[in-house]
Structure 1
Amino acid sequence: MKAITYSRTGDSSVLHLRDREVPEPGAGQVRVRVVVSGVNPTDWKHRKGAGPDQELEFPEVVPHHDGAGVVDAVGDGVSDLAVGDRVWVFMAQLQRPDGTAQEYVVLPVVSVVPLPDDVGFDVGASLGVPAITAHRALTVAEGRPSRLAPGALAGATVLVAGGAGAVGHAAIQLARWAGARVITTVSTPEKEALAAAAGADHVVNYKAGDTAAAIRAVAPDGVDIVVEVAPGANAALDAAVVSNRATIAIYANDGGGSVELDVMANMWVNARYQFLVLYTVGDDALANGRDDVAAAVRDGAMGVGESNGLPVHHFSLEDTAAAHDAVENGVTGKVLIRVSG
């Protein structure tokens, strides 16, 4: 089978197309024929490392956590999935070297989720890291549900920073599905249109005026949950727009790795800061995210493509290096690898 691998850290030139043996599933595992592999920022960051030519935790790595395809074989003890089932997969590289940038991947059954027949593989491959990250950010607020379902966030106002990004897009869709009112911030008119297509109730261009005033105009009592991609740049804004006992859930550090907080502004409203990363969030949180995202998918709430607010950019498996470069360079939308038909 064809696979993309790398053995040292570096730029995208370290990625190579290889022939590998088709793996066999063991007990509690399934083999998936990958149709589409999803590329996330974590993929190029892991490949790049802290510098070039560093050793990896495994001798050879196949990149990408996310993907979608068809179950090809099942190991002993697997009863919930069968050969021929359409599925989406997530966190394929969690403590493992083999991701979805290959024609077949063997995964533990807990990382493989049924994909409804009427949902495309592009949607399935776009879930995973972005959607489960968004789920976690929306379920850590004090006094609010730890699971999402229709009505779970009824009465809540959610602010999504960067609503045109993959996590922001998923957060908008999940929050709306769960009944929240959603405000999002973006940087261009083009991204305004995308965030609106994703389902945001109010879209604020943070380069077009007083962002805090614009948010307060539609949420005079403040926002209850902030899904935050740039905590350093947005610390003052978040403090200015949150409600009492609000939660700011931080999943990335766009713009810098440190945050300076105004103590009194945050103290006065009992603000809570929650950091999160899927690698160490724990099995229960991953399982909750998997199951709730799957429910949202079944309800038709998780579309991708221009009309759903997330343009899709396709690459071939042979062009995986170019796909990584596109994500690293900040392309707007979702980058996907077509692995097989």
Structure 2
Amino acid sequence: MKSIIHTETGPASVLRLEERPLPVPGAGEVRVRVVVSGVNPTDWKSRRGRGNGQALAFPEITPNQDGAGVVDAVGPGVSDLAAGDRVWTCMAAQGRPTGTAQEFTVLPAERVVRLPDGVSFDVGASLGVPAVTAHRALTVAEDGPRRLAPGALAGRTVLVSGGAGAVGHAAIQLARWAGARVVTTVSGPEKARLATAAGADHVVNYREGDPAAAIREVAPEGVDLVVEVAIAPNLEFDQAVVRPRASIASYANNGGDDVRVDIRAHMVLNTRLQFILMYTMGDEALSAAFEDITAALRDGALPVGEEHGLPLLRFPLERTAAAHEAVEGDAVGKVLVDVADPGSVVPA
């Protein structure tokens, strides 16, 4: 099978296409024939590591956590998945040497989720890191909810920082599906158009006028929950727009690794600061995310594509390095790697 591999950390040029033996699933594992592989910032950051030329945790690594395809074989003890099931994957390369940038990948059955009928492989490959992270951010508030479903966020206002990004896009869609009013911040008119297409009720350009006042105009009592991509530069802004007992869920370190907290101001507000990393959120939170995301998919709540606010940027498998460079260069939209023709596997 064709596989993208690298044997050291470094720039995208360390990635190369090789032939590798077909992997065999062990106990509790499934083999997925990958149709589309999704690329996220975590993928290029893992590839780059802490510096060029460092040794890896495994002799060689195939990158990319997310993907979608068809179950090809199951190992002993797997009873809830079968060959022919259309699925999406999550954390394929977490603690393992092989991700989804290859024709077949083997991973634990609990990291493989069925795609509902009618949901495309493109949608499936766009879930994983963005959708699970967004779900977690929307379910950590002290006053709940702990699960998402239609009406779960009714009467609440959610602020999504960076609504044109992949996580921001998923957060807008999931929050709207759960009944929230969604406000989002963006850096310009093109991103505003995308956030609106994703379903945001109000879009604020944070580079113009007084963005905090603009948010207070639509949410006079303050927002209930912030899904934050850049807490270091944005915490003071968030403080200005949240209501008492609000939660600020930070899932990335865009803009810096250190943040200054005005302790007294947040004490007065009873603010909850929640930091999120998908890889350590725990099995219970992951399972809840998989179930709720599946329900949202059945309701058609997570579409992708330009018309839905998330343009798709496509690369063939042999150009996975270019796909990584696109994400590393902050490309707007979802970067996908086409591994197989969907028609050659099963109708999408």
Q: Which residue of the partner structure matches residue 65 of structure 1?
A: 65
Deviation at 1:109, TM superposition (A): 1.0
Structure 1 residue runs without a partner (length 5+): none
Q: Which residue of the partner structure matches residue 192 of structure 1?
A: 192
Structure 2 residue runs without a partner (length 5+): 342-348
Is 2:45 aligned against 1:45?
Answer: yes
Q: Give 1:64's aligned amino acid.
A: N
The correspondence of residues 9-20 of structure 1 with structure 2, limited to 5 A, is: 9-20=9-20
Deviation at 1:236, TM superposition (A): 1.0
Q: Give 1:89's aligned amino acid.
A: T
Contact 2:153-2:180 within 8 A present in 1 as well: yes
User: What's the CA shift string for 1:228-250, capped at 9, x where partnerless?
Assistant: 00001111110000010000000
Deviation at 1:208, TM superposition (A): 1.5
Once the two structures are overlaid, the 10-residue window that deviates more, 86-95 or 190-199, is 86-95
The correspondence of residues 242-321 of structure 1 with structure 2, limited to 5 A, is: 242-321=242-321
Q: Which residue of the partner structure matches residue 173 of structure 1?
A: 173
Q: Which runs of 4+ in 1 moved over 3 A?
A: none
Q: Which residue of the partner structure matches residue 84 of structure 2?
A: 84
Separation in 2, partners of 1:94, 1:288: 19
2:47 match: secondary structure: helix
Deviation at 1:152, TM superposition (A): 0.9
The correspondence of residues 327-338 of structure 1 with structure 2, limited to 5 A, is: 327-338=327-338
Q: Aligned pair count?
A: 341
TM-score where L is the length of structure 1 = 0.99
Separation in 2, partners of 1:107, 1:254: 30
1:214 match: secondary structure: helix
Deviation at 1:155, TM superposition (A): 1.1
Separation in 1, partners of 2:141, 2:117: 34
Q: Which residue of the partner structure matches residue 205 of structure 1?
A: 205
The correspondence of residues 114-133 of structure 1 with structure 2, limited to 5 A, is: 114-133=114-133
Separation in 1, partners of 2:264, 2:209: 25
Separation in 2, partners of 1:294, 1:109: 16
Q: Percent identity?
A: 67
Deviation at 1:264, TM superposition (A): 2.4
The CA RMSD measured in Å over matched residues stands at 0.8
Separation in 2, partners of 1:51, 1:82: 41
TM-score where L is the length of structure 2 = 0.97
The correspondence of residues 147-166 of structure 1 with structure 2, limited to 5 A, is: 147-166=147-166
Q: Give 1:303's aligned amino acid.
A: P
User: What's the CA shift string for 1:259-287, capped at 9, x where partnerless?
Assistant: 11222221211111000101111111111
Is 2:99 aligned against 1:99?
Answer: yes
